Each structure stands twice: as C-alpha cells, then as structure tokens.
C-alpha cells in the first residue's frame, strides 16, 4: 500500500547538486543557485521525478516537492507511474539521457536496474542524509561497497482484521487457518506484492526459506489447507478495502500503513504484526544512470531523506520511515513499529530467487488455491 498505491506494480513487469548542511532539510532559497551542472556539464533548472499516483503523489507533493521547488527555484517535474512503466523506459534509454532523474521504486525493480547497470551509485558527499538512515535502508541496496538506492518508507505486511467479527486478535500468520474463519479470509495471488510477501511469510512460518525448493513446496501444501477459509483473491487495494467494508473478509494480509488509513476512514479494522514475521515492503529512491539533471537530483534526494520531510510523509501515510531522526507523534508510535528494534526483524523477499521462479510459482499457487474454480 493505500500501500499498494506504493507497491502495486512490483510484479507487473515480472518481475545526488551539492547540498548545504548535513542531516537537515535545508536548501538554498536563491533561485539563481538552482541552475546546476549535469553529467555533461550543462546547466539546468529542473529535476524529473517519478512517483506513484493518487494519494501517494498528493502526499509526497505536500510533504516535500512543493516546498523544495519554492525554496530552490528548481522546477520539479512530477511523472506519476509504476515500476513497470519506468523500468521499460529507463532500460530503453540504456544510461543515456533517461526520461527521469529520480524514481521511487520497489526492491525487485532496483535489483533489476542495478543488474543492468542503469542506476547511479549514490555519492554520500552530495547526499549527507544517507548517514542518518537505518542500516537496512541502504544495506539491501549495496553492492561492492556502492549504494544504489536509499530506503524511504517502511511498509510492513501483517494482518488487517475486522474487530467486530474477530474478537481475539490474531498473533501469527498461521492463525488464518483457524476453522472459525471459514469463508472469511482473503488472500492475494503471488502476482500482487502483498500476496508474494504473504507467501514469503508462510515459508518462514513453516520453518523454511524461499531458496529451498522443498521449503517452498511445504508452504504450498500449507496454503492448500487454507483454501476452505478463503472467500476471495484480491489483487488490488480497492478490492481489499471493499471486502473488509462489506464484512465478506474478516482477515487479510495487508500493510500497516494501509490498514491504519482504513481505520482513520472509520472502518472498524485492527492490525497486527505477526509474531512469526512481518514482511518488509520498503519504497526507496534511486537516481538513474545518465541523469540529465544529476546535481539537482542529488539535492532533491537529500531533501527527501531529511527528517522533516520524512516526518511529514509518515503522518500522512502511516508508515515508519528510514531517517533515524524523524520525530513521530505518541499516537503514531503506539500503532506503528519504527526503528531498528523492529526493522532488523523484518523478513525480506529474496528477489534473486523469486524472479526466475515466479511464473512457475504463480501457476502452482493457482492450482493449490483453486482460484477461479
């Protein structure tokens, strides 16, 4: 999520301007300083950024982009889209004048772009806020000592449930198998980010790893036993919301931010982080190789990673953030897990294993779950 506004396209493809100051959101306000050098030495006064559409775009504009443009005089060109769209266009550019300078991306897309040598290694001299991030926000995107992306918001997959129907809150993934929930559990397919992350959670909950074929088969067998409890197979956030609102689904794997957004909207929904492992769904910023406005991209990236910006975004989106210095409200901290004590325990999907197996696993998932039958 809401969180799939952030993550929905992860599998549709089958898937720093020198900064004044350190660790702050400050930028130069003189518009004359907005024109900065690109890779080829030319001067520009703009930066092109790709963000997820809908509420995500509105929230990042409100938290950062509008103010950055006002402070610096640098024109921020916003291109709403998805990982699949952006990946195809960046790959077509092949590192030469790509159509975007900076993109918000999911881990799978970051790995694929880095593998194709299409990402700009992040220079900490130009992005001093990198030093203020939790280690997991960069460690998973570091190769041969070079950082290729910077984590921004931490979506954490857990269980959303209707409190008026589920009187004893679930505590772990395997609670979804409880016979009392027959016909009232919704499970997303592997082609939807939440579905794949849930599957990774089940592999872990049954004592296995995605890299071990026998563990994967064990997880599929476990899923087959859930079939009688399943009422629907939602593959988008709107459908999940409708199922919960109507009471057709009482429990569904969902991201913390999205569940709390539904709660704020008045839906009697609760959320739990499963004891057997919530799953990471981090949205991260990356700069494209050959960025036509590289210096401005660096400057914007550092601003986006500042505690001020991240704090504003967190309050709107209900997601924990990557900068250690973000200040959260007491109510926020009561609900949402933030910091290394929690982030270090998150399960991460191993996309180097997933990508070559996803088609086969998707077919097997359909057979086991009987979707559409």
Q: Which of 100, 153, 106, 146 is nearest to 127 (CA)?
A: 146
- pLDDT, tens digit, 9 for 90 and up, residues 251-293: 999 999 999 999 999 999 999 999 999 999 999 999 999 999 9
Query: Measured between alpha carbons, how far is 93 from 292 in angstroms, rounded to an integer?
Result: 12
φ/ψ of 36, rounded to 5, equals -130, 165
Query: Measured between alpha carbons, how far is 203 from 197 in angstroms, rounded to an integer?
Result: 10
- pLDDT, tens digit, 9 for 90 and up, residues 174-226: 999 999 999 999 999 999 989 999 999 999 999 999 999 999 999 999 999 99
Q: If you average pLDDT over residues 31-43, what whole number do you get?
A: 47
Q: Which structural domain range is residue 86 located in?
A: 3-154+281-343
Q: If you average pLDDT over residues 352-362, what whole number do you get?
A: 93
- pLDDT, tens digit, 9 for 90 and up, residues 70-117: 999 999 999 999 999 999 999 999 999 999 999 999 998 999 999 999
pLDDT band at 29 (very low <50, low <70, confident <90, very high): very low
Min mean pLDDT across 118-122, 237-241, 367-371 is at 367-371
pLDDT band at 339 (very low <50, low <70, confident <90, very high): very high
Per-residue pLDDT, 43: 76
Query: Measured between alpha carbons, how far is 116 from 231 in angstroms, rounded to an integer?
Result: 41
Same domain, 79 and 140: yes
Cβ within 8 Å of residue 334, ≥6 positions away: none
Kindly report the CATH number assigned to the domain that includes residue 140.
3.40.190.10
Same domain, 31 and 131: yes
Query: Measured between alpha carbons, how far is 317 from 314 in angstroms, rounded to an integer?
Result: 5
**Percent with pLDDT over 90 in the chain:** 83
Query: Measured between alpha carbons, how far is 80 from 6 in angstroms, rounded to an integer?
Result: 11
- Bridge partners of 344, per DSSP, are none
Query: Could you write out the DSSP letters of every residue in 218-252?
Result: HHHHHHHTTGGGEEE---SHHHHHHHHHHTS-SEE
Same domain, 161 and 180: yes
Same domain, 259 and 229: yes
**Percent with pLDDT over 70 in the chain:** 88
Q: Do 114 and 4 contact (CB within 8 A), yes or no? A: no
Per-residue pLDDT, 220: 97
Per-residue pLDDT, 348: 95
Per-residue pLDDT, 325: 98
The answer, yes or no, to whether residue 35 has pLDDT greater than 60, is: no
Same domain, 144 and 274: no
Same domain, 194 and 263: yes
Same domain, 275 and 307: no
Rounded to the nearest integer, the mean pLDDT of the chain is 89
Same domain, 16 and 36: yes
Same domain, 43 and 142: yes
Query: Could you write out the DSSP letters of every residue in 4-52?
Result: HHHHTTTTTTT-----SSSSS------GGG--EE-TTS-EESEEEEEEE
Structural domain count of the chain: 2
Same domain, 275 and 143: no
pLDDT band at 371 (very low <50, low <70, confident <90, very high): low
Same domain, 165 and 293: no
Same domain, 168 and 46: no
Query: Measured between alpha carbons, how far is 161 from 184 in angstroms, rounded to an integer?
Result: 10
Query: Measured between alpha carbons, how far is 29 from 69 in angstroms, rounded to an integer?
Result: 9
- pLDDT, tens digit, 9 for 90 and up, residues 120-173: 999 999 999 999 999 999 999 999 999 999 999 999 999 999 999 999 999 999
**In angstroms, what CA-CA distances link 242 with 56, 230, 268?**
20, 15, 13
The alpha carbon torsion through 311, 312, 316, 320 (nearest 10 deg) reads: -20
Query: Measured between alpha carbons, how far is 180 from 366 in angstroms, rounded to an integer?
Result: 24
The answer, yes or no, to whether residue 363 has pLDDT greater than 90, is: yes
């Amino acid at each position: 999520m809401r969180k799939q506004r952030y993550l929905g396209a992860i599998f549709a493809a089958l898937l720093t301007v020198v900064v004044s100051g350190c660790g702050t959101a400050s930028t130069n306000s003189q518009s004359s300083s907005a024109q900065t050098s690109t890779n080829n030495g030319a001067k520009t006064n703009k930066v092109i950024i790709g963000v997820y559409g809908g509420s995500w775009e509105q929230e990042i504009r409100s938290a950062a982009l509008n103010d950055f443009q006002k402070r610096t005089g640098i024109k921020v060109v916003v291109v709403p889209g998805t990982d699949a769209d952006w990946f195809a266009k960046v790959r077509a550019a092949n590192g030469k004048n790509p159509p975007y300078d900076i993109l918000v991306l999911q881990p799978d897309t970051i790995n694929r772009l880095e593998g194709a040598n299409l990402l700009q290694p992040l220079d900490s001299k130009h992005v001093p806020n990198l030093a203020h991030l939790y280690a997991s926000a960069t460690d998973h995107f570091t190769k041969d000592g070079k950082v290729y992306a910077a984590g921004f918001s931490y979506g954490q997959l857990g269980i959303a449930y209707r409190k008026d129907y589920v009187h004893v809150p679930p505590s772990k993934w395997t609670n979804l198998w409880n016979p009392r929930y027959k016909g009232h559990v919704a499970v997303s397919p592997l082609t939807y980010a939440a579905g794949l992350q849930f599957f990774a959670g089940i592999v872990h909950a049954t004592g296995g790893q995605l890299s071990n074929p026998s563990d994967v088969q064990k997880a599929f067998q476990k899923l087959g036993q859930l079939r009688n409890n399943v009422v629907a197979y939602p593959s988008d956030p709107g459908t999940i919301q409708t199922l919960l609102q109507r009471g057709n689904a009482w429990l569904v794997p969902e991201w913390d931010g999205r569940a709390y957004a539904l709660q704020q909207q008045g839906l009697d929904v609760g959320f739990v982080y499963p004891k057997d492992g919530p799953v990471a769904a981090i949205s991260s910023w990356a700069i494209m190789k050959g960025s036509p406005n590289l210096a401005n991209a660096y400057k914007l990236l550092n601003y986006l990673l500042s505690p001020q910006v991240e704090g504003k975004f967190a309050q709107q989106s209900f997601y924990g953030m990557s900068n250690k210095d973000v200040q959260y409200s007491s109510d926020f901290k009561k609900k949402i897990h933030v910091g290394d004590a929690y982030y270090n325990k998150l399960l991460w999907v191993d996309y180097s294993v997933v990508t070559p197996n996803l088609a086969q696993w998707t077919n097997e998932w359909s057979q086991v779950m009987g979707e559409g039958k």
